[in-house]
Amino acid sequence: MSTSSTNVSSEHSNRVVLVGNPNVGKTTLFNCLTGLRMKTANFPGTTLDILSGKLSLPSGERDLLDLPGLYALDSANAEERVALDAILNNDSEKPALIILILDATNLVRNLFFAAQVLRLGIPTVIALNMVDLAKNSGVHINYESLESHLSAPVIPLVARKNTGIEQLIDRCETVLSENTAPALPKLLVSTENPDNNMLYTWAESVYESSVEHENATLGRKTEMADKFFTHPIGGLLAFMSVLFVVFYLIFSFAGIPMDFIDGTMGSFGEWVGSKLPEGLFQQLIVDGVIAGVGGVLIFLPQICILFFCLSLLEDTGYLARAACVMDKHLRRVGLPGKAFVPMLAAHACAIPGIMAARTIEDRQDRLTTIMVLPLLTCSARLPVYAMITALLFPASAAKGAALFTGAYLLGIIAAMGMAFLFRKTLLKGDMQPMMLELPNYKVPSFKTAFLTAYERGKIFVRKAGTVILAISIVLWALMTFPQAPVPSEEFIQDIPINGTQVVQQPQSELSYSFAAKMGKGLEPIIEPLGFDWRIGVGIVASFAAREVVVSALSVIFGVEGDGDDTSVLLDRLKEAKRPDGSPLFTFASSCSLLVFYVLAMQCLPTQAVTKRETGSWKWAIFQLGYMTVLAYTASLVTYQTLVALGMG
């Protein structure tokens, strides 16, 4: 069945490449082989991030590259093709070895892909994954027979349980030392360019002679589960429930590490502050640098938990069903089903969401998705939502939850609406029809989920963290300079507490800063939204990072200390008065502020990522522009309507 082996000239290459279909446990295997020692490798001409790690072999370390999951080598999209060409068809550095991962539970289709890969003529070891699932469902594979048909070593393994990995490493070592290309199966060499039909015929014949199945039950449970999960209504309900659970996890678990980070950075700042001589330098380090680093790290728990959950969901096979159910609805507004994962990710942070939009092949589809992603409620909006909820409904958890849900829904509806508008105007074009595999359901790998969360966290700190840090230093300067003169009576303001007692409260130094001047300048523009200059300062201060508004308001409303004491802040906000003596934070103005923060861009790091992913500042500026106009208009309508209804 096979022709003779040929020696290939790739002695100098140190590269080992992992290839396979999506949903076959490729990432799990990659993690088994490399552990935590991975980084992203970039190739010129593509923005695709290829994971790269170190594969430890007895003869030394090799670079292991994780190619994007592909169903066929000739069906890669434009960006994947660049990566493929750079890695597989690169004459100057051909890979020394391909580790081809195949799914034992879906062998024929995987053999079709194997045929394409074997034809590359690069030494190949086949990692046959999920052999436990295949066996349990009555599929018995004769590995020796398979090996002889494929003319390449076949290692049965269960990557999820870490079994078979050592044997795989041993065989990789052997094949690398022999450095021989796989002898192509006859059928595959006899024709110059076998068509897909021929490759499938070959795959079927290999399957028939290597596999026995007794009453195979594979996929039966999946099919039953799918009756529900892909049902137009049941599936939608399931999707909502899954979203609820994911967000519940984020809310209940992220708070603990977030409080820890907050507390630690706060104490650290105080400690450093006490060691440094008082003055501008001390303020820069404590309020600029340390607070900025804290402002980056505070996102990590939510980002990590979200990607942990996403990884588990993807691994179980559920995400494909969700995309399937959502495709119909997303398509109506001009978004592809694949936009659903970026949209889910954008609920933690628009930055990983925009990065995840890379999986969308069509440029128009991708641009539309990227443009609307920042409208979805990211975790940085939560402090603002929490503040307004506590302000409006301090005693009612149910009303608070309703307000939160409303804010999330507003973001989703706005994103859909804008996507629809963009598809009709700026980004016209035919959409790619949907084609999506619905893999068998399986138990997810927690290790993979953990590593995914770790890797996403790392990317966030490296790519967005530096920008956020720089911006917080700039903002610190805006809010510090010019400095206040010696305190005078003019800036002492009366603030009534408990209705009767009146204490003298000096206005903070912030009132002298550039930020305050900008806030005051904004007042006539934002007055119709129910805001005054103090909220204006909050908006200016949070221009680059929306969550800053809470601490900015703390400073503006003269809350002592580091601005973390939320209950004091809430009291101050409730007591805040307009010049005519009416309360500043009424139901109408609070709702208006909430609507503004749901829809406004207020995030420079996101814009930096939009620029990077779209390749031009044009789209980033457009995004800022349309979101600001949208937020302003919606807040205006909200405030004026509520006031007209007598709820002001």
CA-based radius of gyration for the chain: 29
- For position 434 contacting other proteins by CB under 8 A, the verdict is yes
Q: With contacts defined by CB under 8 A, how many residues of the chain interact with other proteins?
A: 38
DSSP per-residue codes, 301-368? HHHHHHHHHHHHHHHHTHHHHHHHHHHHHHHHTT--GGGHHHHHHTTT-HHHHHHHGGG--SHHHHHH
Non-local (6+) Cβ contacts of 219 within 8 A are 137, 440
Using alpha carbons only, give the angle 636, 637, 641 rounded to the nearest 5 degrees: 115
Residue 333, interface with other proteins (CB under 8 A)? no
In angstroms, the CA 601 to CA 543 distance is: 8
- Quick one: tokens of 79? 């960006």
Nearer to other proteins, 233 or 503 (CB): 233
* Neighbouring residues of 544: CB distance < 8 A, sequence distance ≥ 6: 468, 471, 472, 474, 475, 602, 603, 604, 605
Nearer to other proteins among residue 6 and residue 196 (C-beta)? 196
Contact string 312-331 vs other proteins (x = CB under 8 A):
--------x---x--xx---
What is residue 577's DSSP assignment?
B
Which residue stretch of 103-111, 259-267, 370-378, 401-409 sits at the interface with other proteins (rule: CB under 8 A)? 103-111
Residues forming a β-bridge with 492: 506
Tell me: does residue 130 bind other proteins (CB under 8 A). Answer: no
Give the C-alpha separation, 454 to 38, whole Å.
11
Positions 511 through 570 that interact with other proteins (CB under 8 A):
none
How many angstroms separate the CA atoms of 375 and 410, rounded?
Answer: 9
Measuring CA to CA, which residue among 181, 170, 95, 70 is closest to residue 127?
170
The vertex-518 CA angle with 464 and 597, nearest 5°, equals 50
Select from 143, 200, 253, 491 the one that contacts other proteins (CB under 8 A). 200
Q: Would you count residue 103 as binding other proteins (CB under 8 A)?
A: yes
Q: Are 63 and 55 in contact (CB under 8 A)?
A: yes
503 lies in the site for other proteins, by CB under 8 A:
no
Q: Find the shortest distance in angstroms from Cβ 20 to other proteins.
A: 12
Quick check: 105 binds other proteins (CB under 8 A)? Answer: yes
Stretch that binds other proteins, among 35-43, 60-68, 298-306, 434-442 (CB under 8 A): 434-442
| 201 sits near other proteins (criterion: CB under 8 A) | yes
Residue (203 or 555) nearer to other proteins, CB: 203
Q: Which of residues 61-100 bind other proteins (CB under 8 A)?
A: 70-72, 74-75
Which among 324, 320, 135 has a CA at the least distance from the CA of 218? 135
Q: Between 269 and 308, how does the x/- string for binding to other proteins read (CB under 8 A)?
A: ----------------------------------------
Q: Which residue has the tokens 């978004």?
A: 335
| 359: contact with other proteins by CB under 8 A | no
Q: Is 226 in the site for other proteins (CB under 8 A)?
A: yes
Q: Which is nearer to other proteins, 222 or 283 (CB)?
A: 222
* Residue 103 backbone phi and psi in degrees, to 5: -95, 115
Q: Which residues contact 280 (CB under 8 A, 6 or more apart)?
A: 480
Closest distance to other proteins from the beta carbon of 120 (Å): 16
| Angstrom distances, CA of residue 81 to CA of 41, 88, 455 | 15, 10, 24
Tally Cβ neighbours within 10 Å of residue 562. 18
CB of 75 to other proteins, least distance (A): 4
Q: Is 364 in the site for other proteins (CB under 8 A)?
A: no
Using CB under 8 A as the binding rule, whether residue 197 contacts other proteins is answered as yes
Contact positions with other proteins (CB under 8 A) in 438-497? 438-440
Q: Return the residue of 16, 50, 83, 218 that touches other proteins, per CB under 8 A.
A: 218
Provide, rounded to whole angstroms, the least separation between the CB of residue 233 and other proteins.
12
In the region spanning residues 107 to 126, those forming contacts with other proteins, defined by CB under 8 A, are 107-109, 112-113
Tell me which residues touch other proteins (CB under 8 A). 21, 70-72, 74-75, 103, 105-109, 112-113, 196-197, 200-201, 218-219, 222-223, 226, 230, 232, 320, 324, 327-328, 337, 433-440
